[in-house]
Amino acid sequence: MTTTLNRKTESVPRSFPAAVPAVTAELSNVSHSFGHQPVLRNISLQVCRGETLVLIGESGCGKSVTTKLLAGLLQPTSGDVLWEGRPVRSRNSTEMRRDRLRLGYLFQGAALFDSMNVFENIAFGLRENTKMPESQIREIVFDRLREVGLVDSVGDKRPSDLSGGMKKRVGLARALAMSPDIMFYDEPTTGLDPIMSGVINELILQTQMRRQVTSIVVTHDMTTVRRVADRVVMLYPLGKLASEEPQIVFEGSCHEAFATEDVRVARFVRGSTSTQLTE
């Protein structure tokens, strides 16, 4: 295993492109409930092509649900999810299968198949969804392993033989094997030590820069926010809001998120616990 990656020099906060980018995914007045338990209320959110959007907020505020709605893994209770301006619900099953292949998803626990080795995990999507010859699949699998900083011999290992950081990288390699246009990252650094968290953050950056993918990241890790975010959106739990209050309590650049005077946002991004102890 190798953990050597090209490091991007730290710089001032990243700025938005001068031109207005196209919207690739959108939530329009979306609400979602599980049974009688509402999680999201009237959320409108646009994701622009090529940007890295980071979703933050307390546990249970609906971040992961938001990404699953954007990815078409859940259907909203009300409102519309749109891909390239067209409602997801208007697509038939053939179109959904085709369009979902444009999406890559790195799950919080990597979600590797325990019964398969690393090579088979990465090759799975290619074998299921393409007619590529095995020689081409083999080439892509090893290219993706190297892209995430792993050597070819890792392909023979089982998921149970891997560390948490290696599992995350294999999960990313599997997602990238299908050459997605949009990458979803659900808590990509959870459970990792600071060094491996830094490696995963660099991989997110490198993936976005090399492939020009759109990235949507859910995280509690403020180091990840500072390192990868073009735009930050913070959701707030419905149980702490009045019925007329919007659930998105912040939307802006990383620099603006850390400079805001909104106490709800400031307390979260700065890790203040002084008032939480008495709530």
pLDDT greater than 80 at residue 93: yes
Of 182, 178, 234, the C-alpha closest to 54 is 234
Percent residues over pLDDT 70 in the chain:
90
Q: What is the CA radius of gyration of the chain?
A: 19
Q: Is the pLDDT of residue 19 over 90?
A: no
Residue 36 pLDDT exceeds 60: yes
Residue 238: partners with Cβ closer than 8 Å, 6 or more residues away: 38, 39, 40, 41, 61, 62, 247
| 72: three-class secondary structure by DSSP | coil
> Which pLDDT value is given to residue 109?
77
CA angle 82, 83, 88 (to 5 degrees): 60
What is the DSSP code (8-state) at residue 141?
Answer: H
Residue type, 233: V
What is the rounded CA–CA span in Å between residue 76 and residue 29?
10
CB 168 within 8 A of CB 89: no
Task: Give tens-digit pLDDT for 154-170.
Answer: 999 999 999 988 999 99
For 214-257, what is each residue's pLDDT tens digit? 999 999 999 999 999 999 999 999 999 998 899 999 999 999 99
Q: How confident is the model at residue 10 (pLDDT cuts 50, 70, 90)?
A: very low
Q: What is the pLDDT of residues 102-152, one digit of tens each?
A: 999 998 877 899 999 999 999 999 999 999 999 999 999 999 999 999 999
- Is pLDDT of 72 > 70? yes
Q: Across 73-135, where does the E strand assignment appear?
A: 78-83, 86-87, 103-106
Per-residue pLDDT at 273: 52
Tokens of 100: 């979902």
User: Where does residue 193 fall: left (phi above 0), alpha (psi -120 to 50 degrees), or beta otherwise?
Assistant: beta
What lies within 8 Å, CB to CB, of 79 at 6+ separation is: 27, 28, 29, 30, 31, 42, 43
Contact 188, 106 (CB under 8 A): yes
E strand or H helix that includes residue 26: strand 23-34
Calculate mean pLDDT across residues 174-184. 93
Question: Is the pLDDT assigned to residue 15 strictly greater than 60?
Answer: no
Judged against a pLDDT cut of 70, whether residue 202 lies above it is answered with: yes
pLDDT digits (tens, 9 = 90+) for 52-61: 999 999 988 9
Contact between residue 61 and residue 235 where contact means Cβ atoms under 8 Å apart: yes
The pLDDT of residue 9: 39
Say what percent of the chain tops pLDDT 90: 74
What pTM value is reported for the model? 0.85
Residues paired with residue 136 on neighbouring β-strands, in sequence order: none
- Rounded Cα–Cα distance for residues 15 and 27 (Å): 24
How many CB atoms neighbour CB 196 within 10 A? 18
**How high is the mean pLDDT of the chain?**
88
Domain architecture of the chain: domains with CATH: 21-102+184-193+230-279 (3.40.50.300)
